Amino acid sequence: MKKKKIILYILFSFLIIIGAATIYIYKEYNRSHKDTANLNADYSITATGLIKEFEIDEKSSNTKYWDKVLLVDGIVKEIVRDDKGFYTVALGDTSSLSAVRCNIDSIHSKEAASVKKGNSIAVKGICTGFNTDELLGSDVILVRSVINKK
Amino acid sequence: MKNLVLFVFAFFLFAAISHGQKFYTKNGKIEFDATSGSSPEKIEGINRNAICVIDTKSGAIQFSVLMKGFAFERSLMEEHFNENYVESNKFPKAEFKGTITNNTTVNYLTNGTYKVNVIGKLTIHGETKDVAADGTMITQEGKINASADFKILLSDFNISIPGLVADKVSKTARISISCQLEPLKN
């Protein structure tokens, strides 16, 4: 009788563990990206300062900024809307070819639509690195960006 | 008067193109799809920040893209892509350097649609391989709309697919490129 109880108890525990694991795996598997608007910035920096850091030492800047949430202040050099309605905002010094290029998250396209060239804005986004080009200037790229409300 | 305006416009356009010779974009789109036939879900990522430069004189064409910039619908897929497959911390960039083999058949100065053949070297995950692709170039109002589609074998780039997901992730990946290039003003 006692043995049966123990077996039942073990079986029951197993079921709970399996159930919990299934829920965890299911949740983890379907996990979607967090809205950057709700994330706290790991670093707050100016566009020109950020570009300079990458120009001086790309490797250590990569280690410092990769996958981090950056809040970047700067002047809008260019705003591009592609054929599918996705916005890219380039921040930086107009006299330089380099920029911080921010891919605006499609759920925040609306806020980007009112941004004009020459505006001074802050953009929050996730850093994916530095795309260097001698001819075209080098860019720090931010993805899933949002225009930060001041 | 209308003709004069048109003439002046055409003149400047011509001057800009013949002088510039290079076209570029920093917002090139590169999509890749490694969904295997039996997979119930899409294994695909998109990057909207590819740099592309075309030299219309020589037909040289090059791309550069940050691997971390590929966006996936699911976070977990994106993490696996970066950490286990392309190891983007170790190999942050993918590059292509090649030439348009039939460049002389493209008239960049007039509006038109052209089929182009591109050959070159593609570097992903630190491995460089020769690739060839057919593409289309649409020249319109002094801009170029370039697109291409080709397949790569993941094992060519030393990217291995674990047995556990072999039924979902295909051994080959389809790469689609779409760029709107503008003349480079020097």
Domain-by-domain residue ranges, chain A?
1-31, 36-147
Contacts of B24 in chain A (CB under 8 A): 135-136
Contacts of B26 in chain A (CB under 8 A): 90, 101, 136, 139
Domain A36-147, CATH 3.40.50.300 — does that match?
no
How large is the average pLDDT for residues B11-37?
77
The rounded distance, in Å, linking the Cα atoms of A148 and A124 is 6
Q: Which helix (H) or strand (E) holds A129?
A: strand A120-131
pLDDT higher than 90, residue B5: no
- How does pLDDT run across B53-84, given as a tens digit for each residue? 999 999 999 999 999 999 998 888 899 999 98
- The band of B2, judged by pLDDT with boundaries at 50, 70 and 90, is low
User: Helices marked H in chain A — which ranges?
Assistant: 2-29, 47-56, 58-65, 109-113
- How does pLDDT run across B176-185, given as a tens digit for each residue? 999 999 999 8
Tokens standing for residue B179: 């760029």
pLDDT higher than 60, residue B20: no
3-state secondary structure B46-106: EEEEEEEEEECCCCEEEEEEEHHHCECCEHHHHHHHHHHHCCCCCCCEEEEEEEECCHHHC
The dihedral built from the CA positions of residue B53, B50, A83 and B115, taken in this order, carries a sign that is: positive
- In this prediction, the residues of chain A whose per-residue pLDDT falls under 70 are 1, 149-150
Is residue B66 within 8 Å of A141, Cβ to Cβ? yes
Is residue A78 within 8 Å of A90, Cβ to Cβ? yes
Among the partner residues B66, B74, B184, nearest to A141 by beta-carbon distance: B66
SS3 percent helix, strand, coil of chain A, rounded to 5, is 40, 35, 30
Closest alpha carbon to A127 in A74, A86, A63, A69? A69
pLDDT above 70 as % of chain B: 89
- How does pLDDT run across B96-127, given as a tens digit for each residue? 999 999 999 999 988 999 999 999 999 999 99
Its CATH architecture, for the domain B2-183, is Beta Barrel (2.40)
The CA distance from A69 to the nearest CA of chain B, in Å, is 14
Parallel, antiparallel, or unpaired for β A69-81 and B44-55?
unpaired
Q: What is the ipTM of this complex?
A: 0.82
In degrees and rounded to multiples of 5, residue A109 shows phi and psi of: -60, -35
Contacts of B93 in chain A (CB under 8 A): 129, 131
> Is A139 in contact with B49 (Cβ distance < 8 A)?
yes
pLDDT higher than 70, residue B19: no
pLDDT for A93 equals 92
> Is B49 in contact with A103 (Cβ distance < 8 A)?
yes
pLDDT higher than 80, residue B7: no
> Is B65 in contact with A131 (Cβ distance < 8 A)?
yes
Among the partner residues B27, B74, B78, nearest to A82 by beta-carbon distance: B27
Residue with tokens 């013949």: B18
